[in-house]
Structure 1
Amino acid sequence: MRYSASHKLETKEKLLQSSAVSAKKAGFSTVGVDGLMKAIGLSGAAFYSHFTSKDQLFASIVERELSQSLERLGADQDCDKLERCLKQYLSMAHVEHPESGCALPTLGAEIARSDVLVREEAQVWICRLQESWAKILQSDSLAWAILSQCVGALVVARMLASTDIQRTVLQSSHDEIGRQIAGRHQPICK
């Protein structure tokens, strides 16, 4: 039985969405094609009508997730919106629910181990986010530092077992970012 083009697109979208959640929750390399397809109620053989390889699926997930992160975290922001965004990013909800948050802390190591095409795709979106923050902060280096600190703080917090220490890491990072912004760009952000 042949399916319509819209059915194929809907299935591909379900696969992307389900695989992204799975990857952010447990890592992309931990689940095979059969498991990814089973999660959306299809057989593993159907996978190859949507993607030529698991690597191609990962590249699509990286593009999709990082473009969504840019929509949430970048562009059309001012310092107040950036502050709210950073507070939400550096939150216990983000620590506890990696599947609904930014892909960088969860997939960063896998992206780093991927082929150059995946890393180049990630670079495009990460640079766009950094550029949007640099416009707000009027500093390329401060935007890179804050972006790196946010991702790193989330990774460290997720590695810890104690919620009290997790909260301390997040709050310390948020406070330090606030000092960095206030110290270098007081007229812009405060």
Structure 2
Amino acid sequence: MRYSAGHKLETKEKLLQSSALSAKRSGFSTVGVDGLMKAIGLSGAAFYSHFSSKDALFAAIVERELGQSLERLGGQGTQDRERLERCLKQYLSMAHVEQPESGCAIPALGAEIARSENGVREQAELWIGRLQQSWAQTLGSDSLAWAILSQCVGALVVARMLASTDMQKNVLGASHGEISRRIAAQFAE
């Protein structure tokens, strides 16, 4: 039975969405092709009509998820200081710690991206560079934008590693406080 081009695109979109959620929640390497396809109600054999390999799917997930992270955190063009501070507050929140599947892909997929082929890492570099540039425009400093981006990602990774909610909140609060002081100092100059 032949499916329409629209059906194929819908299926590919479902596979991307489902696989991205699974990857951000549990890691990409933990689920095989059969499991990824079963999650959307199809057999593993149908996978290869959408992607040439599991690595190709991961590359598409990285591009999609980092693009969405850029939209949420950097927006299009420049942003103002207040918007950046609201983004940072949401980023360094318990909701983001507890729901990795609905948040930024960088802390959730970073280790797997680092172990990926060069093309995936180049794609990640492109999107992370765009986010850093967006923040650098707002902050007026390339190095401060890199430092804040790195601290945000690191704080989220550390908070997710901890078992105690109180310790998680301490990590997030300390990081948010330090970042806020650095931003205030940058604009006071």
TM more than 0.5: yes
Rounded Cα–Cα distance in structure 2 between residues aligned with 1:6 and 1:81:
37
Aligned match of 1:48 = 48
- 1:137 counterpart residue number: 139
- Map 1:1-190 → 2, pairs under 5 A: 1-75=1-75, 76-186=78-188
Instruction: Report the alpha carbon displacement of residue 49 of structure 1 after superposing the two structures with TM.
Output: 0.1
Offset, 1:184? 2.1
CA distance in 2 between counterparts of 1:68 and 1:48 reads: 25
Q: TM-score, normalised by structure 1?
A: 0.97
The code of the aligned residue for 2:182 comes to Q
Q: Which residue identity is paired with 2:61?
A: I
Q: 1:30: how far off? A: 0.2
Unaligned runs of 5+ in 1: none
Aligned-pair CA distance for 1:182: 1.2
How far apart, CA to CA, are the structure 2 residues paired with 1:27 and 1:158?
14
Counterpart amino acid of residue 3 in structure 2: Y
- How far the C-alpha of 1:186 sits from its partner, in A, is 2.3
- Runs of 4+ deviating beyond 3 Å: none
- What SS class does the counterpart of residue 30 from structure 1 fall into? coil
CA RMSD, Structure 1 to Structure 2 (Å): 0.7
CA–CA separation in structure 2 for the residues paired with 1:106 and 1:69: 12
* Letter in structure 1 aligned against 2:4: S
Q: Please, what TM-score do these two structures have when normalized by structure 2? A: 0.98
1:185 is displaced (CA, Å) by 2.2
Describe the SS at the equivalent of 1:175: helix
Displacement after TM superposition at 1:77 (Å): 1.7
SS where residue 117 of structure 1 aligns?
helix
